[in-house]
Amino acid sequence: MDYLDTRRSSSHSGRILAAAILITVCVIFLRQSNDRSSPSLLSTTSSAKYDQFSRHEPGVTHVLVTGGAGYIGSHATLRLLNDSYRVTIVDNLSRGNLGAVKVLQELFPEPGRLQFIYADLGDAKAVNKIFAENAFDAVMHFAAVAYVGESTQEPLRYYHNITSNTLVVLEAMATHNVKTLIYSSTCATYGEPEKMPITEETPQFPINPYGKAKKMAEDIILDFSKTNNMAVMILRYFNVIGSDPEGRLGEAPRPELREQGRISGACFDAARGIIPGLKVRGTDYNTADGTCIRDYIDVTDLVDAHVKALAHAKPGKVGIYNVGTGKGRSVKEFVEACKKATGVEIKVQFLSRRPGDYAEVFSYPSKINRELNWSAQHTLEESLQIAWRWQKSHRNGYGEQ
């Protein structure tokens, strides 16, 4: 009996020792993974590179781009880098593409130009650490889940991801004295206005959780801006399409999100045979052809508006701008334009309305034309043609071509 107890005790002690060793190894691994210079998350460079990110430098503007691995955020990062800004991307890759980050890293490998930090904006401790270790001059806040239909199915997720996470970013900005914010908002905050086109004075009555969460975030930003000397620009934009004209970046949503995604992505998927056809939801709206009317803005034009907003941001001032073409196009018109751009006779299936959608939304962009000297440069047809070129040469998105 004594012998058996001794063996049991020895075996038990051995298991405890093994567990302790395993825990120690995991802790070391996690610490290394969370370090900014982890080669799995960032391009492998010397620590001297990151010293450049941690200090302000005369003549260099360091911009934090949240959601910079996403469709719009990656295009914004590309433009900022082309314009000689220093950029830090923070993204949790829940919707973004690490492949887009790798493209940007290859384009701008020089020390002190670009770094990528894997983090969730819902983690206040991690966000505060990022701000503490980096000398940001401005924040472009793109990070957000952004599907109207999905927001009606998962409203709490949208309020957490959009509203709560914006609060976390603002708190970090306040703590670390970062005074410039360019906020990526949406026309969904207006809901379904009685009059068209939409101006910045149009009352905001959002009708879905996505629009409501964005409006809440706007309200928090505006209230906070009244208590300090922040420079704030809020851009409410419309339906984004297109891709980088030089073919370096494009739109590549995760396969499981295709059903929720933008109509342009669905059109291209149908043209490539990935899906059997295009589903158009709603043909009984009070519009000329019964389908929704939207204002389609090219992603490079949208990014140009963000960069101009950054250049015009002034301490103690708040600018609110609609970013659109000023021309509404129906879904049926969009489908015909997509057929022309792809050269494919796409099969179309007409279904009932999608929850949370509205009949007609398009902008009146005179304010941004006048104050920021911005206007859309791409037509719907041009944007679709450019995007189709990227889609054809990137059948697997940012995977193997």
Catalytic residue among 71, 158, 210, 285: 210
Residue 45 located in a structural domain: no
- Say yes or no to pLDDT of 208 above 70: yes
Lowest-pLDDT choice from 21-35, 182-196, 218-232, 297-311: 21-35
Cα distances (angstroms) measured from residue 375 to each of 251, 271, 323, 324, 379: 22, 30, 8, 8, 12
3-state secondary structure of 281: strand
Whichever domain contains 131, its CATH number is 3.40.50.720
Q: What percent of the chain has pLDDT over 70?
A: 86
3-state secondary structure of 44: coil
Q: Does 210 participate in catalysis according to the annotation? A: yes
Residue 218 located in a structural domain: yes
Q: Hey, what are 114's tokens?
A: 């670009």
Q: How confident is the model at residue 24, as a pLDDT?
A: 42
Give residue for tokens 């019964």: 290
Residue 245 located in a structural domain: yes
The 10 Å Cβ neighbour count of residue 145 is 20
DSSP code at position 172: H
Residue 12 located in a structural domain: no
- Say yes or no to pLDDT of 296 above 70: yes
Residue 259 located in a structural domain: yes
Whether the full predicted model's pTM is greater than 0.85, yes or no, is yes
For the chain, what is the largest distance between any 2 Cα atoms, rounded to a whole number of angstroms?
Answer: 92
Spatial separation of the C-alpha atoms in residues 353 and 355, rounded to whole Å: 6
3-state secondary structure of 268: helix
Residue 35 located in a structural domain: no
CA pseudo-torsion sign 259, 264, 265, 270: positive
Among the residues of 200-276, which ranges form H helices?
A: 209-225, 263-271
Q: How confident is the model at residue 240, as a pLDDT?
A: 96
Spatial separation of the C-alpha atoms in residues 299 and 37, rounded to whole Å: 31
The residue range of the domain holding 343 is 53-393
Confidence of residue 4 (pLDDT cuts 50, 70, 90): very low
Nearest to 141 by CA among 158, 116, 165, 171: 165
Q: How confident is the model at residue 50, as a pLDDT?
A: 64
State the total domains in the chain.
Answer: 1
Q: Hey, what are 247's tokens?
A: 């073919």
The total number of residues shown for the chain amounts to: 401
DSSP code at position 256: G
Residue 337 located in a structural domain: yes
Residue ranges of E strands in 70-208: 86-91, 114-118, 138-141, 180-186
Tell me: the pLDDT tens digits for 342-384? Answer: 999 999 999 998 787 888 889 999 999 999 999 999 999 999 9
Q: How confident is the model at residue 37, as a pLDDT?
A: 35
Name the residue with higher pLDDT: 260 or 171: 171
Tell me: the pLDDT tens digits for 147-197? Answer: 888 999 999 999 999 999 999 999 999 999 999 999 999 999 999 898 999
Residue 1 located in a structural domain: no
Lowest-pLDDT choice from 15-29, 67-81, 299-313, 379-393: 15-29
The DSSP H or E segment spanning 65 is: strand 62-66
Q: How confident is the model at residue 33, as a pLDDT?
A: 35
Q: How confident is the model at residue 41, as a pLDDT?
A: 44
Q: How confident is the model at residue 14, as a pLDDT?
A: 52
Lowest-pLDDT choice from 49-63, 148-162, 308-322: 49-63
Nearest to 140 by CA among 222, 269, 232: 232
